[in-house]
Structure 1
């Protein structure tokens, strides 16, 4: 199955913060390379990422015996953002590093810190749907790693079948399903606030519904013409989070549950539904292969069952900092990542959780059930919207803390949305966006 993107999505921006960190390193493709060069690759520390990174490094080394790739890791979320920003600022970045596309990419000052890739032959393999989200000024700076994904609800199909439930197409249907699941003694909606970034999906994953209700929202938001707290469609993500909390639909220990624990509960049917990014699927495959096809996917429901669109995320990027002393070797590695061989390495390592945005990369027929649920939304552009961070440079850094508060009953949905608007205003002013100063 080949995915051909139909839409050219514009470039955007996002935010980062600062901290000190311990990095772990491991060599892939050999224990050393006394006769050649060793390059380093900084990636996040999720099991899925490390697994495909090591496989890419191993296969690249097999094809290029004179180059060894050593993997370094960093945390996810805000701490990881801090590491990337700090290491770029101090000239201590790895030879190659993986990081967000879109809004967060813009905030690492790519024109100052990164080596442009425009004109490199391997960029011809990169989908034109991806290039804008790694572009600053006149140049593109990254290649995609991983696949397209979605902000959606992963659900345990066995629990649904046992309770006779159907996939919901509206928020009211989702709440009704959730109440029935709770009555059965199973956690209806898994939340994992110990891993704070996971708290954002009720808001971020709802954006396709916002765009369906207001097609110009992203443009108006960037121009400071609409706000989360006052737009009736945009505020619903916060309201839904508050409503689900007040209805007691979360796992009892949502405040202390981690992302890996949430995946375990979903796989084992101890929790029925988990609003999360679908990049969780390869991690489920690695940790719970026997339960992988028990997991399905549906969009976060809105009000209109006739639309019910999916919010989609573009893959992360791999970049070259200007501080690298191994430019040619690093470019060779990026060329491998942005090739059909690179896609095959990733699929072999962790499977595919969506479409690749590299030309010539096919998906196997035996993709997980949740991927099959997702692909129709990718293939029909009227049934999806990119997440807001791929359409606007405006994204505040404090959303994950705010959504934890709203989802814990500490702050109301209205106050949370207003606080996020204030957070966004600071970020937009730092970016010197028109209409914000």
Structure 2
């Protein structure tokens, strides 16, 4: 059990980007105290589960490392948070350590110019090769996972399924039939959407990539070369599915304003039957609705073919980086914290602070036996080899406007065809900035 020190809340900047947690008794002023101790700032997004985990890790590290203190700061989630990270990197005002996505979004940070290369650290060989590839360029390896791998899946309420006699769907038609059965029964929202947090709108497309790969194994490589588009099948299906679900009236009434936390609670309490979401929702579930740990399950987002039905898998997106502006004693202390994150002790702290969302990608780290049902439900897919990596780990291209486009499609404002075309246009600038051929 980690003993928590008291924390005081501080404002972080004139824009009020949220709150920071500081160890009680530490100076709120300069970067280093007069006695030579090192003070590090650690920027994470403001999700409750992540702030809790970051605080627990910082506390444990400080207890074992006299002379180093870590102040945890927060930023918004979604596109607003992306802008904060990019702006602070560009202006040289980034925290000493920061949490951000792996995969394509990391590539958009120009890591060779903005991040500290960690490829020579002695612990690198303990990382899963898939994770290493998700935080690397030809010139370096930049990130350390904080969390586990996860899947883009459909969270569902097992009690609702039992009451209505529903079975886990393995095709899209079966999934919609289940949603229609929930609608006919009344009171329960068939499919939860939460556009109050715009980033949550993307799962119909991002979580469908296993089905895209199953239909076209070369799609990611061809997409990176500018030879595949979302306006064409099989990738277009995710846009069309979102429009079809909206047109059928299958969403919760407050879909436009509901938040991610609302969505998790809806499926936990039975107010909603299904919620397409990443399984990092296990952390949120255990924070707000722990009694529903065995009630909320997960299944792969269905596609056209039951034979190829499987999970779209993400490497840990809560990845920790050191910006190049961290230098001297601060850099050495930051690297020491990174090495700590690579230990089984740190993994156990994370499992205790928040429910795991999937397997760890660090050698020597294991999951506890009492994981939530949504995490346990993933194991058969892994055991049977029914998984594929998400596109962002196979291609550096991910346009910034996808979440806004999907909100418009899921709200009936934009058609699926127009939304897909808009996203195909959205990614062009990024691909050109990356210097990719074919764009």
CA distance in 2, matches of 1:334, 1:82: 24
Report the CA distance between 1:121 and its aligned residue.
1.4
Name the TM-score, length of structure 1 as normaliser. 0.92
Given the alignment of the two structures, is residue 201 of structure 1 paired with residue 203 of structure 2, yes or no?
Answer: yes
Whether the 8 Å contact between 2:102 and 2:316 is mirrored in structure 1 is: yes
CA distance in 2, matches of 1:64, 1:351: 26
Cα 1:105–1:20 shift into 2, 3 Å: farther
Report the CA distance between 1:366 and its aligned residue.
1.0
Q: Greater shift after overlay, 257-266 or 235-244? A: 257-266
- 1:282 aligned counterpart, secondary structure: helix
Given the alignment of the two structures, is residue 279 of structure 1 paired with residue 280 of structure 2, yes or no?
Answer: yes
Given the alignment of the two structures, is residue 189 of structure 1 paired with residue 184 of structure 2, yes or no?
Answer: no
Aligned residue for 1:365? Answer: 369
Report the CA distance between 1:22 and its aligned residue.
2.4
Whether the 8 Å contact between 1:21 and 1:83 is mirrored in structure 2 is: no
- Cα deviation per residue 1:65-84 (whole Å; 9 max; x = unaligned)? 22111100000111101111
- Cα deviation per residue 1:182-202 (whole Å; 9 max; x = unaligned)? 111110000001111111100
- Unmatched runs of 5 consecutive residues or more in structure 1: 1-18
Given the alignment of the two structures, is residue 398 of structure 1 paired with residue 392 of structure 2, yes or no?
Answer: no
Aligned residue for 1:161? Answer: 162
Whether the 8 Å contact between 1:151 and 1:313 is mirrored in structure 2 is: yes
Given the alignment of the two structures, is residue 251 of structure 1 paired with residue 252 of structure 2, yes or no?
Answer: yes
Whether the 8 Å contact between 1:125 and 1:339 is mirrored in structure 2 is: no
Aligned residue for 1:215? Answer: 217
Aligned residue for 2:89? Answer: 88
**Mapping of residues 379-398 of structure 1, within 5 Å:** 379-380=383-384, 382-398=385-401
Report the CA distance between 1:122 and its aligned residue.
2.4
- 1:202 aligned counterpart, secondary structure: helix
CA distance in 1, matches of 2:397, 2:125: 29
Aligned residue for 2:62? Answer: 61
Aligned residue for 2:433? Answer: 430
**Mapping of residues 338-353 of structure 1, within 5 Å:** 338-353=342-357
Q: Greater shift after overlay, 80-89 or 123-132? A: 123-132
Cα 1:359–1:434 shift into 2, 3 Å: same
Q: Greater shift after overlay, 30-39 or 333-342? A: 30-39
CA distance in 1, matches of 2:179, 2:436: 41
Whether the 8 Å contact between 1:199 and 1:404 is mirrored in structure 2 is: yes
**Mapping of residues 7-46 of structure 1, within 5 Å:** 22-28=17-23, 31-32=25-26, 36-46=37-47
Report the CA distance between 1:375 and its aligned residue.
2.0
Q: Greater shift after overlay, 129-138 or 218-227? A: 129-138
Q: Would you say how many aligned residue pairs link Structure 1 and Structure 2?
A: 415
Name the TM-score, length of structure 2 as normaliser. 0.92
Report the CA distance between 1:21 and its aligned residue.
5.5
Report the CA distance between 1:411 and its aligned residue.
1.1
**Mapping of residues 223-262 of structure 1, within 5 Å:** 223-230=225-232, 232-262=233-263
- Cα deviation per residue 1:389-416 (whole Å; 9 max; x = unaligned)? 1111111111111111111111111111
Whether the 8 Å contact between 1:228 and 1:417 is mirrored in structure 2 is: yes
Given the alignment of the two structures, is residue 419 of structure 1 paired with residue 413 of structure 2, yes or no?
Answer: no
Aligned residue for 2:291? Answer: 290
Report the CA distance between 1:322 and its aligned residue.
1.1
CA distance in 2, matches of 1:433, 1:132: 18
CA distance in 2, matches of 1:256, 1:94: 31
CA distance in 2, matches of 1:337, 1:265: 33
- Unmatched runs of 5 consecutive residues or more in structure 2: 1-13, 28-32
C-alpha RMSD of the superposition:
1.4
Whether the 8 Å contact between 2:298 and 2:377 is mirrored in structure 1 is: yes
CA distance in 1, matches of 2:264, 2:114: 36
Aligned residue for 2:337? Answer: 333
CA distance in 1, matches of 2:98, 2:309: 36
Report the CA distance between 1:109 and its aligned residue.
1.1
CA distance in 2, matches of 1:351, 1:251: 26
CA distance in 1, matches of 2:311, 2:428: 27
Whether the 8 Å contact between 1:155 and 1:297 is mirrored in structure 2 is: yes
CA distance in 2, matches of 1:248, 1:263: 20
Aligned residue for 1:318? Answer: 320
Report the CA distance between 1:125 and its aligned residue.
2.3
Cα 1:31–1:292 shift into 2, 3 Å: farther
